[in-house]
Amino acid sequence: MRLAITGATGFVGSAVLDEALAAGATVCALTRRDQAARDGVEWVSGTLEDAPALEALCDGADAVIHIAGLTNTPDVREFETANVTGTANVMAAMKRAKVKRLVFVSSLSARKPELSAYGASKAAAEELVQASRLDWTVVRPPAVYGPRDDDMLELFKTAKWGVVPLPPGGATSIIYVSDLARLLIALAGQSCKKILEPDDGREGGWAHKEMAQAIGKSLGKSSVFAPHLPASVLSAAAGALKLIQGDKAKLTADRVGYMCHPNWVARYDRRPAEALWKAQVSGEEGFAKTAAWYIQEGWL
């Protein structure tokens, strides 16, 4: 199989690239920057705004896995350009190259587009995908974590000192990055015109405090102090971080909107069929692997 992958240099995309090569596929991958040569990979220089690059990416592909997109920005107007227009550009290139199979990586936040500009952009992109004549599957991952992830890193950093500040009470699903990668590769070779919500298999997801304690345990803490912070405090923190960290701030006003929603649990009726895929890494195992990688790489 020849796969075209956008976002292959990012956190999720790099795991998908590794999984694709391990499965024996050849890969054509879009990149903004020069990359080291790698067996089985053809790098295409360009962006989601570059029509010729996207057409070269799709040329000869059996399927496209569209991962690239914007997850965080101080300027919410950029979500529309990256996530909606970018997806439209990928689909246009697929049609010109006569590629039918599209696996589109969305987000659980698309379930509640009114809560954030990011979620709204993913929901709008999903609508474009579903309205197309392509053989599509939409995958809405919950919180994705694992080695090389710098979003959940902050929770591990605070857990190291015995404290994990949390949003208001609620529950969330999670998925280890290699499990998500395996699903995307499996879907590339199988028609499945559905919106899927994969997770680690934990019924009811993880209550925020349960997850905080599990992260603490992965770092050898018997327990951690895990206070729930109200939306007002998170909003104030987002404003302060914008002044201090500028564009590098992980906590933004837009993220506060969906962080405070109480239910980001993957729905049972939207899980992938077990015959196709099943999560292999539990939360406890995944947290331990992630913590070990952070320590080994000097991130903690």
Residue 209 covered by a domain: no
Mean pLDDT of 53-74: 95
Q: Does pLDDT of 138 surpass 70?
A: yes
The CATH number given to whatever domain includes residue 184 is 3.40.50.720
In a domain? residue 246: no
Whether the pLDDT of residue 81 is over 80: the answer is: yes
> Average model confidence (pLDDT) for the chain?
94
Q: What is the C-alpha separation between 153 and 164, in angstroms, rounded?
A: 11
Say if residue 24's pLDDT is above 70. yes
What is the rounded average pLDDT of the residues 237-264? 78
Query: What is the pLDDT, as a whole number, of residue 295?
Result: 97
User: Would you say residue 117 lies in a domain?
Assistant: yes
Q: Tell me: pLDDT of 235 over 90.
A: no
Rounded CA Rg of the chain:
19
Q: What is the predicted pLDDT for the residue at 116?
A: 95
Residue 57 pLDDT greater than 80, yes or no? yes
pLDDT of 241: 64
Band (247; pLDDT cuts 50, 70, 90): low
Q: Kindly indicate the confidence band of residue 36, based on its pLDDT and cuts at 50, 70 and 90.
A: very high
pLDDT value of residue 84: 98
pTM, rounded to two decimals: 0.95
Give the residue from 114, 231, 96 showing the smallest Cα distance to 170: 231
Would you state the pLDDT for residue 253?
Answer: 80
- pLDDT range class, residue 242, cuts 50, 70, 90: low
pLDDT for the residue numbered 39: 95
Question: What proportion of the chain, given as a percentage, has pLDDT over 90?
Answer: 85
- How many structural domains compose the chain? 1
pLDDT over threshold 90, residue 284: yes
Q: Is residue 157 in a domain?
A: no
Domain that holds residue 127: 2-146+174-199+266-279
Question: Dihedrals φ, ψ of 27, to 5°?
Answer: -130, 135
- 265 with 140: CB under 8 angstroms? no
Checking if the pLDDT of 117 tops 90, the result is: yes
In a domain, 162, yes or no: no
Q: How many CA atoms lie within 13 A of 131 on its CB side?
A: 9
Residues 49-66, mean pLDDT to the nearest whole number: 97
Q: Which residues are catalytic?
A: 118
Mean pLDDT of all residues in 258-266: 92
Across 29-53, average pLDDT: 96
Pseudo-torsion of CA 209, 272, 21, 35, nearest 10°?
A: -60
> Which H/E stretch holds residue 126?
helix 117-131
Is there a domain that residue 210 lies in? no
Amino acid making up residue 272: P
For residue 249, the model assigns a pLDDT of: 65
> Which residues, including other chains, have CB under 8 Å from residue 148's CB and lie 6 or more apart?
11, 14, 15, 177, 293
Q: Is the pLDDT of residue 231 over 90?
A: no
> Is 108 within a domain?
yes
* Model confidence pLDDT, tens digit, residues 160-197: 999 999 999 999 999 999 999 999 999 999 999 999 99
Comparing 159 with 251, the larger pLDDT belongs to 159
- 258 lies in a domain? no
Instruction: Tell whether the model's pLDDT for residue 243 goes beyond 80.
Output: no
Is pLDDT of 255 > 70? yes
